[in-house]
Structure 1
Amino acid sequence: MTDPNQSVLSKLPNNVIDEILIRLPFRDAVCTSILSKEWRKHWCRLPQLTLDSDFWKSKKDLTGDKRATSNFTMTIHNIITRHSGPLTKFTLCIQYWEIYPPIDNLLYFLSRNRIQHLVLKLPRQFKLPPSFFTCLHLRHLFLQNCLLLPPPDFKGFDRLIRLELHEVTISSKLLESLISNCLLLEQLVLRISDTLSDIIEINAPMLKSCDFTGDMTTICLKCVPRLTELSLRYYRKDWKEFDVANFLTSNFFESCPDHLEHLHLDYGVIAKGQEIPKKLPFDLLCVKHLCMCIYLDRDEILCPLSLIRSFPFLQYLEIQMEHNFKKNMPALECLEMEAFPDVIFEHLREVTLIEANASIREMQLIKLLLAMSPALVKMVISPHRFLGKSTIVKTLTKLAEFECAPKAEIFLKLV
């Protein structure tokens, strides 16, 4: 007698089966081959495969000993020999392994299958084999912990529209060349903690979004006429103090296009005693959404507040609070209205404060922003996760005393 469940499974259309298997961890997708004869090879034609932590479950797999390497080689061999049809997306996550398994055959196989979306999270300083540079149909590329040394005849990935590099070892010259040869590139994400020897000039005529974490002084927006979103986070391994005054008064922002609407700034460590500029040498009239970090336990809070002056048409302001929980932190004179007699944010409609801890200086900042924003409609305050309920209640009471725009509403967003 035929199993009715088996009959139902065998009648499912192939596209429905594919959608089911794609949503399963790869290990579970392979296990569906025991359901019936019809399902035995369904996983072999999936267009997307993911070998991540859900697949490498055992501790030996995660550490990457000789046995794990052997299992890895066997797994890749089974995929290469059994897979049929197009393979558009492949994800490999082995960044915590202690040894480097062979992936040359895998990348050659992906290249022959015209892979379009590739994610490689590999062990530290993993040198990519020559076969990687033959994946010329790539449109989305994510690399982590890789060493990039392309062959002399490599011309770049000219179909790439998104490039994301995390802790990738690459020379400034090669990175600059790689980006400039991606003429269709729309999204760029760089996480570089190593100090680069030279400045990277970003030449990408189609680029719309750029997210850079590293030493801000090593990046130059040379030709990005369509850029609408820019995120800059300062980071260096040696935590050398950043000359934020010199950076803000340089011509870096002058090269930003007129289309730039979203800007995220986090310039990290600020040297004490630096002379902080009151504003940029010019206004960025196009920026409507600004996200920035404010360090409330430092006197340099005046810097980000003054910087906001350079965005006269700002509509949305998001502030990430960075602080330690110092008790009895005194108020700051620079946070009184008298210190900003000529400042008013006529177009500011929404303010979001993240990780607020209801300190004296923070309440000063909230009061100041409310007073300076006549068009404000909404202020959302997200308290720090360690803030007690009693403190939150006191904060609400205090906020009710502040004067604000007639249509403004203050919301406390509890996580």
Structure 2
Amino acid sequence: MPDIISNLPHNVIDVILIRMPCKDAVRTSVLSKKWRYHWCRRTELTLDESLWNREDLNPTVRFREIINQILTIHEGPITKFTLDIVHLKRSPEIDNFILFLRNHIQDLVLHLPLGIQYTVPSTLFTCSQLRHLNLYFCSIYHPSAFEGFDKLISLELCGVSTSSELLESLISHCPLLEKLEMSILEDLDMIEINAPMLKLFTFSGDISSICLKNVPRLVEASLIGDIEQTESLDFAKIFESCSALEQLSLNFLNSEFIAEEGYRVPRRLPVNLNNVRRFDVPDILLVESYKLSYIICLLRSFPNLEYLELQVVDEDDSDTDEDEEFTEESLQPETLSDLTFNHLVEFQLGSFKGGTSEMQFIKHLLANSPVLEIMVINQQFLDEEPLDTREKIFNEISNFPRASPKAEIVYKDFS
């Protein structure tokens, strides 16, 4: 009976191996002489703790052995490489391996050990074929001779250590960059994002340090972070060239907004962002505060908004934010007086508890949304209230005037 496995064509074996986890692909070397070194031609490799997850092995030593084995016996190019060693206690040398990858690598992921800040070798910045680059927990300092990644379309930097100047330079030297994700743990100076092809931008850190200087094609942005000084948060700079922006998610986390005496948040942006259709605010306290003032400033500047989602923080916790000037005051009608939602179709309100400010916002929105079709209210926390209390709240909302004859109010529990 013929040995079917041993006689498979090389191209078929290649397809099989590339669809298998790296560890299992290596194990196929015992199948036959024909398979013994076939895994060494894989163009895609992933090295993670599954390869050395044995109690009798020192992980760092085993990792070094695997790297040396690949350098010795691998044939042909590697176009996609993922290294995930975040749980190693030490960061092994990977400089020679980056050098080995340099000429052909297109997709590179380096998840390096936490808290060690390994400095990636300058060789990385000579990988001219890179299209996707993902760096976790390392230091990056590109050489002065760096000419750019002229094929890179996505860049993810998480927990990296660098300077504002080098970060700006790196981004501006990626002319085809479409997707940029950054999680910056340290305080940096203002970073101007110059990426004319950028479509998706995700940022976690000090939001006030970001200036979207040249992003005419940016469609979707997510900003997450803390603000130390309220007056440093200048949305006019942050959204300086976002004329194409369609979706925005903004999360101030647990920022305690502190401002100099007499400071007031601008009522609106200098220029309306007419293309914004969706606005998500995952964490907002609906009391008069600097946070809410910034959200309302943006709402006034999104005249064509179609979808709005607010995830409300419990109003009962408001006394914990002692630094917010207006924290103890409920939302007043005059605060919302010039806020309209002429194109709003759907509104979602999360973590609803029936507080005064929540009810005021719902009432205003229903009265100023002429094309609203659905308002979805998450009543998960309201379920804790007595039945008569819930019925009273529901009845009050149902009696609010509605500008849209189609407006439907739906109560859901998303728990």
Q: Report the TM-score range of the alignment, normalised by the length of the smaller protein.
A: 0.7 to 0.9
Pairing of 1:271-286 with structure 2 (within 5 A) = 271=257, 275-286=264-275
Pairing of 1:170-319 with structure 2 (within 5 A) = 170-196=162-188, 198-235=189-226, 241-243=228-230, 245=231, 247-248=233-234, 250-253=236-239, 255-268=240-253, 269-271=255-257, 275-296=264-285, 299-300=288-289, 302-303=292-293, 304-319=295-310
Indicate how the Cα distance of structure 1 residues 259 and 250 shifts in structure 2: closer, same or farther if over 3 A, else same.
closer
Quick check: 1:290–1:314 contact (8 Å CA) kept in 2? yes
Indicate how the Cα distance of structure 1 residues 43 and 378 shifts in structure 2: closer, same or farther if over 3 A, else same.
farther
Indicate how the Cα distance of structure 1 residues 297 and 86 shifts in structure 2: closer, same or farther if over 3 A, else same.
same
* TM-score after normalising by structure 2: 0.81
The 10-residue stretch of structure 1 (156-165 or 273-282) with the greater mean CA deviation from structure 2: 273-282
Q: In structure 2, what is the Cα distance between the partners aligned to 1:381 and 1:56?
A: 49
Partner of residue 65 from structure 2, selected from 57, 74, 95:
74
- 2:119 matched to which residue of 1? 127
Amino acid at match of 2:412: L
Quick check: 1:216–1:232 contact (8 Å CA) kept in 2? yes
The alpha-carbon deviation at position 84 of structure 1 amounts to 2.7
Quick check: 1:60–1:68 contact (8 Å CA) kept in 2? no
- 1:158 matched to which residue of 2? 150
Indicate how the Cα distance of structure 1 residues 83 and 392 shifts in structure 2: closer, same or farther if over 3 A, else same.
farther
**Deviation per CA, 1:360-398, whole angstroms, max 9, x where unpaired?**
2445444443333221223344566xx585559876884
**Percent of pairs with identical residues:** 43
The alpha-carbon deviation at position 111 of structure 1 amounts to 1.0
* TM-score after normalising by structure 1: 0.81
The alpha-carbon deviation at position 60 of structure 1 amounts to 8.3
Structure 1 residues without counterparts, runs of 5 or longer: 62-66
Indicate how the Cα distance of structure 1 residues 182 and 68 shifts in structure 2: closer, same or farther if over 3 A, else same.
same
Pairing of 1:12-91 with structure 2 (within 5 A) = 18=14, 21-58=17-54, 67-91=58-82
- 1:408 matched to which residue of 2? 407
Q: In structure 1, what is the Cα distance between the partners aligned to 2:75 and 2:315?
A: 56
- 2:323 matched to which residue of 1? none
Q: In structure 1, what is the Cα distance between the partners aligned to 2:14 and 2:386?
A: 49
Quick check: 2:206–2:225 contact (8 Å CA) kept in 1? yes
Partner of residue 100 from structure 1, selected from 76, 82, 91:
91
| Cα-Cα RMSD | 3.4
**Deviation per CA, 1:278-299, whole angstroms, max 9, x where unpaired?**
3334322221111224432754
Structure 2 residues without counterparts, runs of 5 or longer: 321-326
Indicate how the Cα distance of structure 1 residues 174 and 251 shifts in structure 2: closer, same or farther if over 3 A, else same.
closer
Q: In structure 2, what is the Cα distance between the partners aligned to 1:378 and 1:14?
A: 57
For these two proteins, the number of residue pairs brought into alignment is 394
Amino acid at match of 2:173: N
Partner of residue 161 from structure 2, selected from 166, 169, 172:
169
